[in-house]
Amino acid sequence: MSHPARRGRRKARARSARRRAQRKRKPSALAALTSGALALPGLAGSAAAEGLIDQISSEYNFSRYSEGSIPASKVAPGSERGRYDIDMHQVHLAAPLGERFALGLDVVHESMSGATPWYVIPGDDGDPVQVMTGATVEDKRTDLLLEGKYYMDRSLASLSGGVSFEKDYFAINGGLGGQLDFNDKNTTLSSGVGVSIDSIDPTDSAEFPLRPDHEKKQSYSAYAGISQVLRRNVAIQSTLTYSLGNGFLSDPYKEALVLGEPVADSRPDLRNQIAWLSRYRHHFSSLNATFHTDYQFYWDDWNITAHTLEVAWYQSLFESFRLIPSFRYYSQGQADFYANYYDQARSDGYYSSDYRLSPFGAISWRLRAEAHFRTWEIDWVGSFSWQRYLSSGSYALGKVSAPNPGLVSFDLYSVGLTTRF
C-alpha cells in the first residue's frame, strides 16, 4: 500500500474517532444532512439519515390508524358507513459491522379490518353516493427490508432487498444507491435505482366474477438528488424521482358504474410518474428551534398533477424535551379516465371511480412530543404523536364540481421508543 493511501486510511480512522466522540456528547446527532435519497418501493437508501452508523440502535413504533365513517348523505342506502382501521408495529434495527460496513433491518406488521369503497352510484337527489364493500375486509401485512451500507471516505454505497406479504399480495423488491460528498461535505450528490415485482391474488374471486384470479405488476424507480449546506444553520435538498409502473395497475376490489352496470376497475397497464421534492432546514439558535419546509411537485401520464407542502417546527424545551407541530397541504387533479360513474362507454375501455384518482385536496396536522433521557449507559427517546387528516373537493386548488363521496379522513396515534447503545 502506498504512503498516501495509508495516510488516507489514518485520516478516515481519525474522522471516525472524532465522530464517535461527538456522538457521545450528542448521542443521536448523526450527520444526516448528507442524505439525498428518496425512498420508493425497492429503492435503496431511505430519506432517513445517511450519516455513519457507529452505534447499535433499535427503534419501535406502534400506530393506530382509524378512518372516520362516511357521512350518511354520501353513502348508498343500506351500505356500511364504518371504514378501515389499522394497527401497525414498526421495528428498525441498525448496527455497524467493522469500520466501514453497517446493516439495517426494518420490520413492519399491520393488521387491517373494516369496509372500503366499492363503486359509486347516483343518489336520489342526483349527487353521487358511495357503495361500500358488503363484507368486512380483514388482512395482515408483513414487510421485511434488509439494507447494507458501505462507507468510503467521501462516499457511500447501499444495497437493499425486501419482501412484503399479505393474504392476497406478495412483493419482492431490491435497490442500489450511492452518495458522493464534496466541497468539504457541503455538497452531496445521491442517486439510486430500485425494482419491485408484485403478485396479486384477490380473495373471493369465485364469488365476485369481476375480480381477477391472479395478476402481476412491476415497478422500476430511479432518483437523483443534491443536498447543499448554505450556512452553518441552513441546508437545502432537491431530489427528482422517476417511477415506471407496468402490468396490472387497476384495483381488483373496485368497480365502476358504466351505463348503469358495474364493470371491473380498469386502468392503463403503464404509468410514468415523476416527483420533484425540495426541502429546506433552518435552525434558529436564539429560539432553540428548527424550521422544516418541504414542497413536492408531482406529475404522471394519467394526467394527474399534485402539489404537497409540509411545514414543521422542531422546538427543543429544556434539555430533554422536544415538541413538534407540523402541517401538510396536498392537492391533486384527476386521472383523465376517472369519473364518479359513466353515462357513456369509453373507447379506450378505462374506467375507475376510485377516490384516489379523483380531484381533491387534503389538509393534515400533527403534534409530536419527545422525551430524551440517558440511563444504564443507554440513550432513550420516548415519543407520542397524534395526526388528523381531512380530505375534500373544496380543499383542492382547482374547482371540483362533483367530488368523490368516498374521500377519506383519519386519525393516527402513535407511541415510540428508540434506544442507542
Partner 1 sequence: MRALVASLSLAALCLSGTGCAAVKPWERDVLARPDMAWEPDTLEAKRDAHVHYSKEASLPGGGAGGGGCGCN
Nearest residue (CB) to partner 1, 252 versus 262 = 252
Count of alpha carbons within 13 angstroms of residue 200, beta-carbon side = 16
Whole-angstrom distance, CA of residue 260 vs CA of residue 344: 10
Q: Please report, as a single letter, which amino acid is at residue 108.
A: V
To the nearest whole angstrom, how small is the minimum distance from the Cβ of residue 70 to partner 1?
14
How far apart CA 52 and CA 393 sit, in angstroms, is 44
254 versus 262: smaller Cβ distance to partner 1: 254
> Which of 329, 349, 319, 325 is CA-nearest to residue 337?
349
State in angstroms the smallest separation of the CB of 356 from partner 1. 6
Least CB distance to partner 1 at residue 125 (A): 27
Shortest gap between Cβ of 364 and partner 1 (angstroms)? 9
Query: Which residue, 280, 392, 380, is CA-closest to 329?
Result: 392
CB of 1 to partner 1, least distance (A): 25
Cα–Cα distance for residue pair 368/379, rounded to 1 Å? 19
For residues 319-341, one letter each, b for 16 or more C-beta atoms within 10 angstroms of the residue's C-beta and e for the rest, the string is eeebebebebbbbbbbbebbbbb
Cβ nearer to partner 1, comparing 130 with 164: 164
- Which residue reads 407511541 in cell numbers? 415
Our CB check for partner 1 shows the closer of 100 and 308 to be 308
The nearest distance, CB 120 to partner 1, in angstroms, is: 16
- Residue 130 vs residues 260, 292, 391: alpha-carbon distances, Å: 14, 38, 16
Cα separations (Å) of 418 from 17, 41, 56, 92, 415? 24, 24, 11, 9, 10
Contact 91, 113 (CB under 8 A): no
Min dist CB 44 to partner 1, Å, is 9
Q: What's the CA gap between 155 and 159, in Å, rounded?
A: 14
Minimum CB separation of residue 395 from partner 1 in Å reads 12
The letter for the amino acid at 200 is: I
Cβ distance to partner 1 smaller for residue 123 or 197: 197
- Which one, 160 or 191, has the nearer CB to partner 1? 160
Nearest distance, CB of residue 183 and partner 1, angstroms? 6
Question: How many C-beta atoms lie closer than 10 Å to residue 216's C-beta?
Answer: 11
Q: Based on CB atoms, which residue is closest to partner 1, 158 or 341?
A: 158
Q: Which is nearer to partner 1, 96 or 245 (CB)?
A: 245
Angle CA(156)–CA(292)–CA(239) in degrees, nearest 5?
Answer: 45
Judged by beta carbon, residue 150 or residue 228, the one nearer partner 1 is: 228
- Which residue, 349, 352, 347, is CA-closest to 334? 352
